[in-house]
Amino acid sequence: MVQLHRQQLPTSEELPCSDDTPVDNEDQNFIPNFLLFLLEFIRGDRDDWFFGVDMGVYHTTGITPLVPVVPDGFLSVGVDRRKQGRSRSSYVVWEENDVVPVLVLEVVSRTPGGEYDRKMKTYAKLGVLYYIIYNPEYWQRDRHQPFEVYRLENGTYRLQIGEPFWMEEIGLGIGRGVRNYAGVEREVLYWYDRFGKRYLASEEAEAIERQGREQAENEVQRIQKLLDRYRQQFGSLEEE
C-alpha cells in the first residue's frame, strides 16, 4: 500500500470524477437518482448531507489514494451539501474532515461487479456503516435476495432482517416500493420513516392530495344530491 502524508495527497481538482466505467442497465442510474431527488424533497431544508451518484470516492484505505471506489449511490451525513457553495466533481474523504459515506448503494448489473465480495471488503475497510445491494434482475444467478441491507459490525458486514429497514444512525429507513409515473409502474427504492411509512416524491404527494380533494368534492356533491332528493319528496326543512 502506498503511504502518502496528508500534504502530499492530491486535491479534488486534480482527481478524475469517476473511473468512467459505463453502466449496463437503466436501474444503475435511475434508482440512485430517484433516491437523491426524494431526499432533496424530504430533507431539502437541511444542509448537512450529501448524496452522490456514480461519483468517485477517494480514500486512503486502499492500495493507493489515486484510485477511487465508485458506488452507484452513497450518502454522507455531517458534510455540506454544496462544498464551499460549489458542486463536487468527486468525493475526497481527506477534504471532507475524513467523513466517510454512512451508506453505499450498489445496483447489480448483467456483468457481475464484485458486489458480494470485492466491493464489500472495500467498503468494510473504508468504514461504511450500511451497505445496500439491490439486485432485482440477477439475484437468482447470484444466489442472494433481490434487496439486502448489510450493517458493519466489528469490521464485518452482517445481513440485516426486515423491510423496510430502519437505520437509526441516519434517521431513515430504506426499502422497495412500486412507483406509478405517467401510467407506467416500476419497482424502485424508497426512503421510509421510523414507522414504516414511505416518503413520497413530490408528484406522488401532489397526486394523492389532488385525489383527496376530488374525493371530498364528490362526497359533497353526493350529499347535496341526497338533500335535493329529500326536499323534492318531503318539502324543504324550513316548511317543516
The C-alpha torsion from 107 through 112 and 118 to 123, rounded to 10°, is -10
Q: Which three cell numbers stand for residue 59?
A: 480514500
Decide if pLDDT at 123 tops 70: yes
Least confident interval from 44-48, 119-123, 214-218: 214-218
pLDDT in tens, 8-44: 676 766 666 555 555 566 788 999 999 999 999 999 9
Where residue 91 falls among pLDDT bands split at 50, 70, 90? very high
How far, in whole angstroms, is CA 137 from its chain's centroid?
19
Contacts of 29 (CB under 8 A, 6+ apart): 23, 53, 54
Task: Determine phi and psi for 83, rounding to 5 degrees.
Answer: -75, 115
Q: Which of 24-33, 189-198, 229-238 is predicted least confidently?
A: 229-238
Q: What is the pTM of this model?
A: 0.80
> What is the percent of the chain where pLDDT is above 90?
60
43, amino acid identity: R
- The answer to whether 66 and 33 have CB atoms below 8 angstroms apart is no
